[in-house]
Homo-oligomer: A and B are copies of this chain.
Amino acid sequence: MILEMEPNASQEDVEFVIKRAQGLGLTVHVSRQGERTVISVFGNTRGLDPTALAGLRGVRGLRQLSRPFRLASREYKPEPTLVRVGDCTVGGKAVVVMAGPCSVESYDQLRRTAEAVQEAGAAILRGGAFKPRSSPYSWQGLAERGLEILARVREETGLLVLTEVLAPEQVALVSRYADILQIGTRNMQNFPLLHAVGESGKPAVLKRGMMSTVEEWLLSAEYILSHGNEKLILCERGIRTFETYTRNTLDINAVPLLKELTHLPVIVDPSHATGKASLVPAVSLAAVAAGADGLLVEVHPDPERAASDGFQSLSLEQFRGTMEQLRLVARSVGRAMDARAPRGDHD
Query: Contact at B192–A167, with CB atoms within 8 Å?
Result: yes
Partner-binding segment picked from A83-91, A104-112, A121-129, A282-290: A282-290
Query: Contact at A252–B286, with CB atoms within 8 Å?
Result: yes
Cβ-neighbour of A257 out of B239, B246, B260, B286 (below 8 A) = B246
Interface string of A273-288 (1 = CB under 8 A from B): 1101011011101111
A191 within 8 A of B: yes
Partner-binding segment picked from A7-15, A50-58, A174-182, A216-224: A216-224
- Give CA–CA (A342, B126) in the complex, Å: 50
- Give CA–CA (A243, B193) in the complex, Å: 24
A251 within 8 A of B: yes
Q: A239-B241, A285-B289 are in contact. Are A219 and B136 (CB under 8 A)?
A: yes
Within 8 Å CB of A276, what residues of B? 257
- Give CA–CA (A252, B285) in the complex, Å: 11
- Give CA–CA (A213, B290) in the complex, Å: 24
Cβ-neighbour of A246 out of B223, B253, B286, B332 (below 8 A) = B253
A200 within 8 A of B: no
Residues of A3-38 whose CB lies within 8 A of B: none
Partner-binding segment picked from A73-81, A145-153, A294-302, A323-331: A323-331
Q: Which residue of B has the minimal Cβ distance to A132?
A: B191
Instruction: State the Cβ distance, A259 to closest chain B Cβ, in Å.
Output: 8
Q: Which residue of B has the minimal Cβ distance to A70?
A: B137
A209 within 8 A of B: yes
Query: Contact at A169–B166, with CB atoms within 8 Å?
Result: no
Within 8 Å CB of A227, what residues of B? 136
Residues of A309-347 whose CB lies within 8 A of B: 325, 328-329, 331-333
User: How many copies of this protein are present in the complex?
Assistant: 4
Within 8 Å CB of A333, what residues of B? 285, 325, 328-329
Query: Contact at B191–A133, with CB atoms within 8 Å?
Result: yes
Residues of A203-256 whose CB lies within 8 A of B: 209-216, 219-220, 222-223, 226-227, 238-246, 249-256
Q: A135-B68, A331-B332 are in contact. Are A241 and B249 (CB under 8 A)?
A: yes
A168 within 8 A of B: yes
A187 within 8 A of B: yes
Within 8 Å CB of A249, what residues of B? 239, 241, 249, 251, 253
Interface string of A170-202 (1 = CB under 8 A from B): 000000000000000011011111000000000
Residues of A41-78 whose CB lies within 8 A of B: 42, 68-70
Query: Contact at B134–A219, with CB atoms within 8 Å?
Result: yes
- Give CA–CA (A188, B50) in the complex, Å: 44
Q: Which residue of B has the minimal Cβ distance to A137?
A: B42
Instruction: State the Cβ distance, A235 to closest chain B Cβ, in Å.
Output: 16
Query: Contact at B213–A211, with CB atoms within 8 Å?
Result: no
- Could you name 30 residue pairs across A and B whose Cβ atoms are closer than 8 Å? A133-B191, A136-B191, A136-B219, A136-B222, A136-B226, A137-B226, A167-B167, A167-B192, A169-B169, A186-B189, A211-B211, A211-B242, A213-B244, A214-B243, A215-B245, A239-B242, A244-B244, A246-B253, A252-B252, A253-B273, A253-B274, A255-B282, A256-B279, A260-B279, A282-B291, A285-B290, A286-B287, A325-B333, A328-B333, A331-B332
